[in-house]
Structure 1
Amino acid sequence: MKKNYLFTSESVSEGHPDKVCDRISDMVVDTYLGAEPQSRVACETLTTTNKVVLAGEVRGPEIKKNDLIEKVRHCIKDIGYDQDGFTWKEATKIESHLHAQSADIAMGVDSSGNKDEGAGDQGIMFGYACNETDVLMPAPIHYSHKILRLMAADRKSGKLKNIEPDSKSQITIEYKDGKPTNVKSVVISTQHSADVDQAQVRKLVMPYIEKSIPKNLLNNLDEKEIYINPTGNFVIGGPDGDSGLTGRKIIVDTYGGAAPHGGGAFSGKDPTKVDRSAAYASRYLAKNVVASKIADKCLIQLAYAIGVSKPLSIYVDLFDNDEEKNKHVEDLISKNFDLSPRGIREMLGLNKPIYEKSAAYGHFGREPEKDGSFSWEKTDKSSIFSK
């Protein structure tokens, strides 16, 4: 591992076209799980100028198409879109092409006789944690999310005016001896109204950089390395400026490139899909390992086969070249955690309508909530590893 280097991560706001799609797809998941906790959903969303298209497979209660379309409009309205090219009103046409789940997939996943419920797909999932921030996330992605999250909150409350929903952030941090020491550059591109010029946009955005990043990391940041709307103008944005699809921001959703990714997206999938549930479980395990203070960072990989309940492999890397300790952690995981799809869902309480709020600003590094949201961010099992 390199000790001295620059590392960059990006985030996108809830108004980014792909994130609009993630939000709508997770709304569909929540709608079905809220009506029937054992529902199965695999929903993809496409957005473009004044158009939204839903496609995918569901198994669960009858949800009226018109009710679902109204919920889509509510998502768009809550994000903040009421523009000529994309609005929550009737000018935006919404189509739903959801249909019944494949019987072949259902057969592999369902439990029957002595067969436990199987994974909803094959694949590999990674979880990661490190002690760079108080939420045990890599610093570049954590602060990139925070800038946009604070901007969105103030935009929705009316405190931040003339800034529109679509925005992106990117932070480069200098690491010395493996630790984040200085922010080297910040890039923020944000949609804005035609009533402000770029100097005004810069003035509006700058306070959010200062609020989001610790002062000790900003001390040596050259103002010339703060790039705000470097294209020069960003009035046309959202799905009117660029089409959006569910699942195109998987690195933004996870660790900003600081850890491997298995390739599977989260949004639009119910928790029988291990792309989602096992990624949450592996983060939960990695975070508890680091919270126990036996390692500064931890990477965990889980692997599954469709229709098979137990994971095919568990891999642990504590980045300290201590093979005995790594093997010890693997053994503790095998002995103390049921990592079957059913076991993960029960351990983390995943059969609930808790996913829509996870669609933007990262699925990890968030605060666990009373309704069960972000349960995978708890550190209630750290004592298992500290022993």
Structure 2
Amino acid sequence: MRSSYLFTSESVSEGHPDKVSDQISDAVVDLFIGKDPEARVACETMVTTNRVILAGEIRGEGVMTPKGEWAPGIQREIEDKVRATVKRIGYEQDGFHWDNLTFENFLHAQSAHIAQGVDASGNKDEGAGDQGIMFGFACDETPDLMPAAIDYSHKILEAMADDRHSGAAPFLEPDAKSQVTLRYENGKPVEATAIVVSTQHAEGYDEGDKQEELNAYVKSVVAKVLPEGLITENTVYHINPTGSFVIGGPDGDAGITGRKIIVDTYGGAAPHGGGAFSGKDPTKVDRSAAYISRYLAKNIVAAGLAKRCTIQLAYAIGVSQPLSLYVDTHGTGTVGDDALEAAIFSVEKLGGLTPRAIRTHLGLNKPIYEKSAAYGHFGRTADGDFFPWERTDLTEDLKAAIAG
């Protein structure tokens, strides 16, 4: 691996149209799992000018009857949840307003052919909800054990959103994007060479003193987020480089669930298996296996067993056991990668890497997902039931397994 290079990652705000879709899809997941922890959900959302459309497959007590009919009152609850999510994000614009938008629901009962492969029956353990490969990653570049460029990109937009919601920056509107380019020397970030922030704004903040106010505000946020020393006299800023950004969100561009999978993960600093997270219940290994992979990689780095760690898992639909486990510490491990693979399988606390074991260990059958659908699923703070895959409670178990 090169020791000196430039690397860039981007993030998008909670008001970006694709992220609006992700949050709505995960709000639906939370609604259904809150009624039935074993609910099956595959919810896709599309948003455009004053319109939200849901589609996908669902199943669960209090959601649909065994005949595939809606449970009483649930369709109204779904619509209310969707509108509440849009309101929380902050959309009260002519082109996208939580109270005025048109809502359409095309969710329907889960395919029986999928259910027969996933459900446990007789001596058959519950199988994976789909085939695929999933990756987890951790590194020691930041306290969050995340790649620095994506970590800072998220935190810039999150800080701006906090100021928008609190009223500290009333000129901001919900849609925004960020991008951070870092220069690395000897594998460590030493300078931010470029910062890009494009934010939707109130009328008039694209010229004169108001534009200067917006630019100064963005630079002040960046200065608070990035560690001291990364911003230098050579750092180049591009703030709203196209000019005006008044029309935005779903009115400016349609949004669809699952289109920001690199933003959701590691900003391109690690591989991605290709599956999105939002809108899926945790039987879908696209989601749960990606979470356990991050959890394992983070605990390996937190335990001091490596400075960087990539983990891959693979599954087949309807099959409970993973097809493969791959660990790569990129030459930074204190023990061999094969020893780490063996250690993972030997930790009794995990209970294995089947879909059921993953959900049990991490406590995934809970309504915890809407919070994950903006500003990255990883590098967050484990808090009660939320973001359990960010805990570092496996470090001693891994070290003990290595010691034998």
CA contact (8 A) 1:52 1:93 kept: yes
Give the structure 2 partner of residue 276 of structure 1: 287
Residue 376 (1) aligns with residue 385 (2):
no
C-alpha separation in 2, matches of 1:7 and 1:165: 27
C-alpha separation in 2, matches of 1:113 and 1:221: 66
Q: How does 1:246-257 map to 2 (within 5 A)?
A: 246-257=257-268
C-alpha separation in 2, matches of 1:285 and 1:260: 16
1:220/1:335 CA distance change after superposition, 3 Å: farther
Give the structure 1 partner of residue 170 of structure 2: 161
C-alpha separation in 2, matches of 1:374 and 1:322: 26
Structure 1: give runs of 5+ residues left out of the alignment: none
The two structures have a TM-score, normalised by structure 1, of: 0.97
TM superposition shift of 1:202: 0.7
Q: How does 1:62-211 map to 2 (within 5 A)?
A: 62=63, 64-90=74-100, 92-197=101-206, 198-211=211-224
TM superposition shift of 1:196: 2.1
TM superposition shift of 1:384: 2.5
Deviations along 1:9-59, one digit per CA (max 9) or x if unpaired, are 000000000000000000000000001100000000000001100000000
CA contact (8 A) 2:215 2:239 kept: yes
| SS of aligned partner of 1:214 | coil
Letter in 1 for 2:149: P
TM superposition shift of 1:177: 0.8
| SS of aligned partner of 2:84 | helix
CA contact (8 A) 2:306 2:333 kept: no
TM superposition shift of 1:195: 3.3
CA contact (8 A) 2:305 2:333 kept: no
Letter in 1 for 2:368: I
C-alpha separation in 1, matches of 2:2 and 2:389: 30
Letter in 2 for 1:84: D
1:381/1:220 CA distance change after superposition, 3 Å: farther
Letter in 1 for 2:228: K
Give the structure 2 partner of residue 53 of structure 1: 53
1:321/1:289 CA distance change after superposition, 3 Å: closer
Residue 344 (1) aligns with residue 355 (2):
no
Residue 310 (1) aligns with residue 324 (2):
no
C-alpha separation in 1, matches of 2:120 and 2:270: 33
CA contact (8 A) 1:182 1:220 kept: no
Give the structure 1 partner of residue 300 of structure 2: 289
TM superposition shift of 1:221: 3.8
C-alpha separation in 1, matches of 2:217 and 2:250: 24
Give the structure 2 partner of residue 230 of structure 1: 241
C-alpha separation in 2, matches of 1:342 and 1:120: 11
TM superposition shift of 1:321: 7.4
TM superposition shift of 1:369: 1.1
1:216/1:7 CA distance change after superposition, 3 Å: same
CA contact (8 A) 2:306 2:334 kept: no
C-alpha separation in 2, matches of 1:340 and 1:67: 33
TM superposition shift of 1:75: 0.6
Aligned-CA RMSD value: 1.2
Letter in 2 for 1:356: E
Letter in 2 for 1:233: S
Give the structure 2 partner of residue 14 of structure 1: 14
C-alpha separation in 2, matches of 1:276 and 1:322: 27
TM superposition shift of 1:383: 1.4
C-alpha separation in 2, matches of 1:99 and 1:115: 27
Aligned length, in residue pairs: 383
CA contact (8 A) 2:308 2:332 kept: no
**Deviation larger for 340-349 or 157-166:** 157-166
TM superposition shift of 1:199: 2.4
Give the structure 1 partner of residue 68 of structure 2: none
C-alpha separation in 2, matches of 1:11 and 1:207: 18
Counterpart selection for 1:330 from 323, 341, 355: 341
Letter in 2 for 1:107: Q
TM superposition shift of 1:342: 0.1
C-alpha separation in 2, matches of 1:51 and 1:96: 11
C-alpha separation in 1, matches of 2:15 and 2:234: 28
| SS of aligned partner of 1:215 | coil
C-alpha separation in 2, matches of 1:288 and 1:163: 38
| SS of aligned partner of 2:230 | helix
TM superposition shift of 1:216: 1.6
Give the structure 1 partner of residue 368 of structure 2: 354
C-alpha separation in 2, matches of 1:124 and 1:221: 41
Letter in 2 for 1:49: T
Counterpart selection for 2:270 from 251, 254, 259: 259
1:333/1:217 CA distance change after superposition, 3 Å: same
**Aligned residues with identical type, % of pairs:** 61
| SS of aligned partner of 2:336 | helix
C-alpha separation in 2, matches of 1:363 and 1:48: 24
C-alpha separation in 1, matches of 2:216 and 2:185: 31
C-alpha separation in 1, matches of 2:170 and 2:234: 27
CA contact (8 A) 2:173 2:199 kept: yes
C-alpha separation in 2, matches of 1:84 and 1:294: 53
Structure 2: give runs of 5+ residues left out of the alignment: 64-70
Counterpart selection for 1:385 from 378, 395, 398: 398
Residue 364 (1) aligns with residue 378 (2):
yes
